[in-house]
Amino acid sequence: MEYYFLGTGAGRPSKQRNVTSGILNLLAECGTCWLFDCGEGTQHQLMKSPYKPGKISKVFVTHLHGDHIFGLPGFLTSRSYQGGHSKVTVYGPPGIQLFLKTVFQVSESHLDYELEVVEIQEGIVMEDNRFKVEAAMVDHRIDSFGYRVTEKAGERPLYAGKLKERGIAPGPLFAQLKRGESVCLENGEQLHAKDFLGPAVTGRTLAVIGDTRSCARSVELAQDCDLLVHEATFAHRHQSLAADYGHSTAVEAAEIAKEAGVQKLVITHLSSRYQEEEAGLLAEAKEIFPETYLAHDFWGTAVPKRK
């Protein structure tokens, strides 16, 4: 489980950073990847990355500003030519369906796979037997969402050694206990699953916060997360400017991480005005939350397991 950055800039692309997009690598967990935002040029960034468009099954859009969605029509239409024929679901704020419908209709684009577009509200937007994704509205100039991805707890491990000590060989009895069932041995002894199963493996959690001012909803989304990806468009000396434009400073992102009790923070969505002083942004954040990292295009970070 890794979050890989395709674009980490704010507003417009620069020579160092493309606009926002990131991939959650779930290939080991469920054989697919999820895309978070899809700014202009994302399909070009994908070509330079280790990830294939055909492996992307879901797209989560935080809000409808161009630097987060202008690459979406291009990615979706060219995916067919790059080996992608499986279904894709796009989740996003109200208006995302009209945006895609209009582009496809005017450009007479054709997709060789099923596309589902889900206009979200706050709450659970997607859930299966392995993951749950929740959305909450944050504080930007237009409707903007943050997402929280929760990996559900894994199966309880079986203490096989304890069974072998009793002379029980691997086989059907192991499987029954693993399923939580009690078993009866030939000598009449009852074995109860609770005595041979460890605690469930804790799932990992990730929060991706879209463009936002510092707000309480971000803390709620990120509460106890293993990884928080949060925008840090401005340096703290430009805090008033950040508030005017609906963005956060690196310091504010660090304060969110600290208050939420996350394990690791990655700051992204950096304004190009700080190209020569990005180390300063990182230092500002690390002073408040030491486990802070600065995102770069074509860089990934693992979602750590809770210690």
Known binding residue 85? Answer is no
User: What's the mean pLDDT when you consider all of the chain?
Assistant: 93
Entry pTM: 0.88
Give yes or no: residues 184 and 261 share one domain.
no
pLDDT of residue 307: 61
In a domain, 307, yes or no: no
- DSSP output for 83-136: T--S-EEEEESTTHHHHHHHHHHHHT---SS-EEEEE--SEEEEE-SSEEEEEE
pLDDT band at 142 (very low <50, low <70, confident <90, very high): very high
Pick from 203, 216, 64, 58: nearest CA to 136:
216
Among 171, 195, 219, which residue terminates a domain? Answer: 195
Give yes or no: residues 65 and 189 share one domain.
no
Known binding residue 112? Answer is no
Known binding residue 68? Answer is yes
Yes or no: say if 29 and 53 are a contact pair by the CB < 8 Å rule: no
Give yes or no: residues 107 and 120 share one domain.
yes
Give yes or no: residues 241 and 269 share one domain.
yes
Which helix or strand (DSSP H or E) is residue 46 part of?
A: helix 42-47
Known binding residue 110? Answer is no
pLDDT of residue 26: 96
Known binding residue 224? Answer is no
Per-residue buried b or exposed e for 167-183, using 16+ beta carbons within 10 Å of the residue's own CB: ebeeeebbeebbeeeeb
pLDDT of residue 138: 98
Give yes or no: residues 89 and 219 share one domain.
yes
Give yes or no: residues 91 and 209 share one domain.
yes
- 246-259: per-residue pLDDT in tens? 999 999 999 999 99
Give yes or no: residues 128 and 170 share one domain.
no
* Number of domains the chain contains: 2
In a domain, 266, yes or no: yes
Give yes or no: residues 204 and 186 share one domain.
no
- 59-117: per-residue pLDDT in tens? 999 999 999 999 999 999 999 888 789 999 999 999 999 999 999 999 999 899 999 99
Active site positions, annotated: 67
- 240-295: per-residue pLDDT in tens? 999 999 999 999 999 999 999 999 999 999 999 998 899 999 999 999 999 999 99
Give yes or no: residues 169 and 80 share one domain.
no
Cα separation, 261 vs 259, in Å, equals: 6
CATH of the domain at 248: 3.60.15.10
- 2-51: per-residue pLDDT in tens? 999 999 999 999 999 999 999 999 999 999 999 999 999 999 999 999 99
Give yes or no: residues 150 and 176 share one domain.
no
pLDDT of residue 158: 79
Q: What is the largest CA-CA distance in the chain?
A: 77
- Mean pLDDT for 113-138 is 97
Question: Containing domain of residue 22, as a range?
Answer: 2-154+200-302
Yes or no: say if 133 and 147 are a contact pair by the CB < 8 Å rule: yes
Give yes or no: residues 140 and 177 share one domain.
no
Give yes or no: residues 150 and 170 share one domain.
no
Known binding residue 140? Answer is yes
In a domain, 175, yes or no: yes
